[in-house]
Amino acid sequence: MSPFQYRDSELCCEEVSLRALAAVVGTPAYVYSKASLLESLAGYGRAFHDVPHVVCYSVKANSNLGVLSVLAKAGAGADIVSGGELYRALRAGVPPKKIIFSGVGKSRDEMREALKADILMFNVESRAELRVLDEVALEMGIRAPVALRVNPDVDPQTHPYIATGLKTSKFGIPYHEAFEAYEEAATLKGLEVIGADMHIGSQLTKATPVADAVARVVALVKALRERRIEIRMIDIGGGLGIRYRDEKPPTHQEFATLLLPALREAGVTVLLEPGRSIVGNAGVLLTRVLYRKDTGAKKFVVVDGAMNDLIRPSLYGSYHEIVPVDQTRCARDLETVDVVGPICESGDFLAKDRELAQVEPEDLLAVMSAGAYGFVMASNYNTRPRAVEVLVDGNRYTIVRRRETYEDLVAGETAP
Ligand code: LLP
């Protein structure tokens, strides 16, 4: 059940009224539910309980230290893609031996930092990267634990920007070259080959492409075993979709049921890298209506949240449900509006041609399903301070990141 429900006609996050919260912390504000984070993490735990597994939460989806530490305390590991994310994961208390490092462009410095931290595994995305990692590890006198990210060339049936497992994408080692890359990796003294990795895309609403990809990876693992290259872990990536509008993504259980037979047979530890499905529906962006504007050709609702706060509608044309915080507004007539922010771009919108109950200046709106790829993709465009982030737990809340100040915005800059 969503943690965002109306109580006494006010939209609440768990037991905290969003109206009362906005009066204290201001808007725009990101609000996350702790219970919801824990529930989705636990869903993976239940679905994969009968195989050895680690849920390595994909930090890129929402890297707030408050969010990370809740997940870390509940036993999650971390999937990171940069030195910055490594720093955050360690600061939040994620055990290094539950951290995996993915990404096509790891620098030598980032490799050194991760080797020093003694992480679980590097997901290596090219043969060139294999050789550099080998060199860096040898310089440090250690061996780097590696998996090769295999590009299984399956169509994940999602938005082209977030499809990663097609042969035309920049990610992973092409399936037909993977065997040879493993043979090379096995000869490199600075590497210890322990795993195989895949990730075919994000916001997947069907599990069958993932199952097809898993089957290909398992077949590779079996072939490698015949060459005495022993793979102990398969990282199946992240990507499970969420409901933004009317999507019906598989449940954790349905997802697991489809994938587990092949993984069980391979006898490996299963690693997962979910991001969106853990945090997406655990968060909203709270914004206040500033003005109504009717140009004759179109009606606009101008709000104080903008594309710099939530870029997904502008960048991917993605749909986020928008609801009034005051439920009595919902009884009003519907009108078709664009919900737009203050930024000087026509691409600055949170919704286009949306049927919305008539709202007035000062009304609060909740932009739903904004917990993943929301704040993390925010910018300071138009010199707008980034929003405050709040984590709700029952009837209490914590400001897990204060709103930026103008001083924050110019810190680090100097006039010559
Ligand atoms: N593992 C790897 C290697 C990834 O590239 C990603 C996401 C994940 C795991 C986590 O995927 P998830 O479970 O969150 O679907 N900004 C886009 C999404 C970009 C996803 C990038 N990679 C959006 O707002 O839809």
Q: What percent of the chain has pLDDT over 70?
A: 100
Q: Are residues 127 and 175 in the same domain?
A: yes
For position 291, which CATH number holds?
Answer: 2.40.37.10
**pLDDT, tens digit (0-9, with 9 covering 90-100), for 266-310:** 999 999 999 999 999 999 999 999 999 999 999 999 999 999 999
Q: Please give the average per-residue pLDDT across 85-101, as a whole number.
A: 98
Ligand 1 closest atom vs CA 241? 15
Residue 167 has a pLDDT of 74
Residue 69 CB-half CA count within 13 A: 10
The pTM of the full predicted model, rounded to 2 decimals, is 0.97
Asked if 162 and 198 sit in the same domain, the reply is yes
> Does 192 lie in the same domain as 55?
yes
Distances in Å between the Cα of 95 and the Cα atoms of 4, 5, 100, 199 are 31, 35, 11, 23
Mean pLDDT (whole number) for 49-57: 97
Q: Exactly one of 12, 13, 56, 344 is catalytic; which is it?
A: 344
The whole-number pLDDT of residue 7 equals 97
Residue 415 lies in a domain: no
Tell me, yes or no, whether 202 and 332 share the same domain.
no
203 CB under 6 A from ligand 1? yes
241 and 317 together in one domain:
no
Domain containing residue 269: CATH number: 3.20.20.10
162 pLDDT above the threshold of 80: no
- Residue-wise over 295-322: b if at least 16 C-beta within 10 A, else e? eeeebebbbbbbbbbbbbbbeeebbbeb
Q: Which residues pair with 235 in a beta bridge?
A: 197, 271
Pair (258, 206) in one structural domain:
yes
Q: How far is the CA of 353 from the centre of ligand 1 (A)?
A: 27
Pairing of strands 29-33, 53-58: unpaired
Nearest to 384 by CA among 350, 348, 343, 414: 343
Over residues 373-392, mean pLDDT: 98
Task: Give 237 Cα–ligand 1 centroid separation in angstroms.
Answer: 9
Q: Could you tell me if 323 and 316 are in contact, meaning their C-beta atoms sit under 8 angstroms apart?
A: no
User: Please, are residues 180 and 228 in contact by the beta-carbon 8 Å criterion?
Assistant: no
- Residues 140 and 115 grouped into a single domain: yes
| Distances 146 to 124, 173, 181, 193 between C-alpha atoms, Å | 7, 14, 12, 5
Query: Mean per-residue pLDDT for 329-353?
Result: 96
Q: Residue 416 domain-assigned?
A: no
122 falls within a domain: yes
Q: Are 106 and 126 in contact (CB under 8 A)?
A: no
* pLDDT > 70? residue 165: no
